[in-house]
A and B are shown apart, each in its own frame.
Chain A
């Protein structure tokens, strides 16, 4: 008993970490149901690097990973080589780094909050809320680089909150910030903003306070600069710029600017940008988005559950007020205020409304605010009433999570997570002498998904890829999903030729019409359904003989007498 009392904090923290681990690792291979193309891309390239030291295009240890026609920071992919080495190429391995990042971030949240709040149970409550928040659970259970970047960013924040007492920590903080820029696009902007505003806070805002030693700051900045050099060397390449320009709302600005009367274009464009940016920015604080709707992208959201549980809106309002009211008294809170203000900036520059992926760093100050709110409510309410309300809220949260994430999500969103490719790969693997043509017109790049599930040796993919890419790796904006590997080909069906070859045509339910089935004597050989029993892929065997016979061998492709 004495031991439990003495170590109560450690015991509760271990309990929270166990809950966090369970919610992130339980049925990780099965939910999300399927393997999204971006996950396959990361997993397969990690496999390729591990086996050959080169990515799928034959580029040795690239600094940006070419992911179709955009380029992604590479650190997640490199780290994924470890679980692939340990457990083999699997869905679990591809998602493992993200899941573990979620658990580590829970642990870091405890230590960050511990430093900035003197209250005993505040950091535990914060870590617990983070552990059970749908936002963190969702992104921890997919191979999302953004979730790993959040973990690295949390390390940076951890060192930053301790830096005032231990100036050496500036160095660690800035190094982790630099590292985060190699993890995810949003951090490439966020890291610079955090450093600039940290310097602003320490040297301009707090003029009367003891400043950190300039030597420590300069050393930290120099090391940050040095570790940024590899990225800066590529600053002029398509790889560096592609993501930022690809998702910015140029079209919206132009169309909105054209509506504004009286003013010249130079002013209307600034106004249109201002409104677009502020509308997006403000949407990241909207209770409607945070507690009801969630992300508009079906692949990045859970049916019937937003990024936080709906009841959290009450502590959100109370906490926001407490935060504004008391932040001057609590000097350590400046990091939370800074994150609260700047975290949605990269996301607000993108055209997707409320992108919970790009705004993921916002989860830290949001959890802080909600924790503040709960703490305040606890002081207002009678203990017994607070306990009853807490039990009801927790029960409701558990039920909501089970319903939305573990029951509805695997079935309703399977189609958004490229479900069906596992079964398709099994069919193709089981018939090595049969040729398959997968219609690429309306589906995500099939070659990488099939290569992942069929564990095709990387040398084969490297040989099948465009050989000119590796020569100008960081400047190629063109994209080609047409591949011929082993016994399958991925491209659009050519109805002039493909029906005269003995093969199986595979497409989604709209790829091949009833008229085409009749006209070309196609025979249905398999159908792969999604969990809602709707067809995802249908395979049709061609009948070249019957087709040629019907047209009296009049086509040049009819070689059979």
Chain B
């Protein structure tokens, strides 16, 4: 019930449905498998297949920039920065050992690749991307869109914590290949980094369930539930309003 609420009341899945129904179905199925696999190892195989298909979708629909390539702006910055370095050397007795610091730190392909991979990873690790349409630091050249209602952010964090306690291996092994892929291809995708959808949706659902368990013994638990539902509806309308504006 809670899981369905999370799956159906986020704008991300509706955006994906409007663009690619097959992908949306695959995402919902993967999320369900992920949820099931927490207590049932027999679905691991199916989960791996579903993730594999999602990887292909993510790869195929992302606009990929080669990691070693520089944009025009980056090129200009690189040229400028090379000039900024002082002469760097080591004096070893009578010998002077010159160190090409500017070349190493600004021009080496390895470092350029590493910096781009770093940017790509941090881009998808930002909670504001998933809960606030990247507000307050919207990216230039990207169309930011609403994904999950922000009221669910605390439940996501709590769910992540519960998930880690429940099935550490799953939580460890699912994001690592996902992050690796994003580090290589970036997240310039009109549908966003949807590979993270199953894990976020499941974490929220687990967090919500966990929170309900916490208040279960309370005398006025129904007031908390009703209060939460009212705020959820208000926030949902707000997020929809921002999305259609």
Contact B122 A287 (CB under 8 A): yes
B residues near A407, Cβ cutoff 8 Å: 84-86
Q: Which residue of B lies closest to A310 (CB)?
A: B118
**B136, CB-defined interface residue at 8 Å:** yes
A274 to B238, CA, bound (A): 11
**B135, CB-defined interface residue at 8 Å:** yes
**30 A-B contacts (beta carbon < 8 Å):** A259-B245, A260-B242, A261-B241, A268-B238, A271-B234, A271-B235, A275-B132, A278-B150, A279-B128, A282-B132, A282-B153, A283-B128, A285-B127, A286-B126, A286-B127, A288-B123, A288-B126, A289-B126, A293-B137, A310-B118, A313-B122, A321-B161, A321-B164, A325-B161, A353-B136, A354-B136, A408-B81, A408-B84, A411-B84, A531-B84
**A226, CB-defined interface residue at 8 Å:** no
Q: Which residue of B lies closest to A287 (CB)?
A: B125
Contact B237 A263 (CB under 8 A): yes
A551 to B165, CA, bound (A): 86
B residues near A289, Cβ cutoff 8 Å: 126, 137
Given A259-B241, A260-B241, A324-B161, A279 and B123 contact (CB-CB distance below 8 Å): no
Q: How far is the CB of A423 from chain B (nearest CB, A)?
A: 20
Q: Which residue of A lies closest to B86 (CB)?
A: A407
Within 8 A of B (CB), among A278-307: 278-280, 282-283, 285-289, 291-293, 296
Contact A280 B136 (CB under 8 A): yes
Q: How large is the interface on B (under 10, 10 to 19, 20 to 34, 35 or more residues)?
A: 20 to 34
Interface of A with B (CB < 8 Å)? 256, 259-263, 267-268, 271-272, 274-276, 278-280, 282-283, 285-289, 291-293, 296, 310, 313, 321, 324-325, 353-354, 399, 403, 407-408, 411-412, 531-532
Contacts A268-B238, A354-B137 given; 15 further ones with Cβ under 8 A?
A260-B241, A263-B237, A275-B150, A275-B235, A275-B238, A276-B136, A279-B132, A280-B136, A283-B128, A283-B136, A283-B137, A289-B126, A293-B122, A296-B137, A403-B101
Q: How far is the CB of A134 from chain B (nearest CB, A)?
A: 15
A residues near B237, Cβ cutoff 8 Å: 260-263
**B16, CB-defined interface residue at 8 Å:** no
The 8 Å CB contact of A279, one of B86, B125, B136, is B136
The 8 Å CB contact of A288, one of B125, B164, B234, B235, is B125
Within 8 A of A (CB), among B89-131: 101, 105, 118-119, 122-123, 125-128, 131
**B80, CB-defined interface residue at 8 Å:** yes
Interface of B is mostly: helix
Q: How far is the CB of B172 from chain A (nearest CB, A)?
A: 11
Q: Quick one: CB contact mask for B60-103 with A, threshold 8 Å, 1 for yes?
A: 00000000000000000000110011100000000000000100
A residues near B125, Cβ cutoff 8 Å: 286-288, 313
A residues near B85, Cβ cutoff 8 Å: 407
Interface of A is mostly: helix
The 8 Å CB contact of A282, one of B81, B128, B241, is B128
Q: Which residue of A lies closest to B237 (CB)?
A: A262
A354 to B132, CA, bound (A): 14
A349 to B135, CA, bound (A): 14
Q: Which residue of A lies closest to B115 (CB)?
A: A304
Given A282-B153, A408-B84, A287 and B238 contact (CB-CB distance below 8 Å): no
Q: How far is the CB of B192 from chain A (nearest CB, A)?
A: 15
Give the top 9 A-B pairs by smallest Cβ distance, nearest first: A353-B136, A279-B132, A288-B126, A292-B122, A288-B122, A259-B245, A260-B241, A279-B135, A287-B125
A residues near B86, Cβ cutoff 8 Å: 407
Interface of B with A (CB < 8 Å)? 80-81, 84-86, 101, 105, 118-119, 122-123, 125-128, 131-132, 135-137, 150, 153, 161, 164-165, 234-235, 237-238, 240-242, 245
The 8 Å CB contact of B118, one of A259, A282, A292, is A292
Contact A260 B238 (CB under 8 A): yes
Q: Which residue of B lies closest to A403 (CB)?
A: B105
Q: Which residue of A lies closest to B161 (CB)?
A: A324
B residues near A293, Cβ cutoff 8 Å: 122, 137
B residues near A260, Cβ cutoff 8 Å: 237-238, 241-242
A residues near B126, Cβ cutoff 8 Å: 286-289
Most chain A beta carbons < 10 A, residue from B101, B235, B238: B238
Q: How far is the CB of B114 from chain A (nearest CB, A)?
A: 10
Q: Which residue of B lies closest to A353 (CB)?
A: B136
Contact A291 B242 (CB under 8 A): no
Q: How far is the CB of B182 from chain A (nearest CB, A)?
A: 13
Q: Which residue of B lies closest to A410 (CB)?
A: B84
Q: Which residue of A lies closest to B126 (CB)?
A: A288
Q: Which residue of B lies closest to A256 (CB)?
A: B242
Most chain B beta carbons < 10 A, residue from A289, A353, A403: A403
A458 to B207, CA, bound (A): 62
Contact B127 A278 (CB under 8 A): no
Q: How far is the CB of B170 from chain A (nearest CB, A)?
A: 15
A169 to B72, CA, bound (A): 58
B residues near A276, Cβ cutoff 8 Å: 135-136
A261 to B236, CA, bound (A): 11
A276 to B80, CA, bound (A): 37
B residues near A267, Cβ cutoff 8 Å: 234
B residues near A280, Cβ cutoff 8 Å: 136
Q: How far is the CB of B117 from chain A (nearest CB, A)?
A: 11
B residues near A408, Cβ cutoff 8 Å: 81, 84
Q: Which residue of B lies closest to A532 (CB)?
A: B80
Q: How far is the CB of B176 from chain A (nearest CB, A)?
A: 12
A283 to B131, CA, bound (A): 11
A261 to B125, CA, bound (A): 31
A282 to B125, CA, bound (A): 13
The 8 Å CB contact of B242, one of A259, A313, A321, is A259
A residues near B81, Cβ cutoff 8 Å: 408
Q: How far is the CB of A534 from chain B (nearest CB, A)?
A: 11
Contact A282 B131 (CB under 8 A): yes
A residues near B161, Cβ cutoff 8 Å: 321, 324-325
B residues near A325, Cβ cutoff 8 Å: 161, 165
Q: How far is the CB of A532 from chain B (nearest CB, A)?
A: 7
A407 to B122, CA, bound (A): 25
Q: How far is the CB of A314 from chain B (nearest CB, A)?
A: 11
B residues near A286, Cβ cutoff 8 Å: 125-128
A73 to B80, CA, bound (A): 40
Contact A278 B119 (CB under 8 A): no
A411 to B82, CA, bound (A): 12
A293 to B134, CA, bound (A): 14
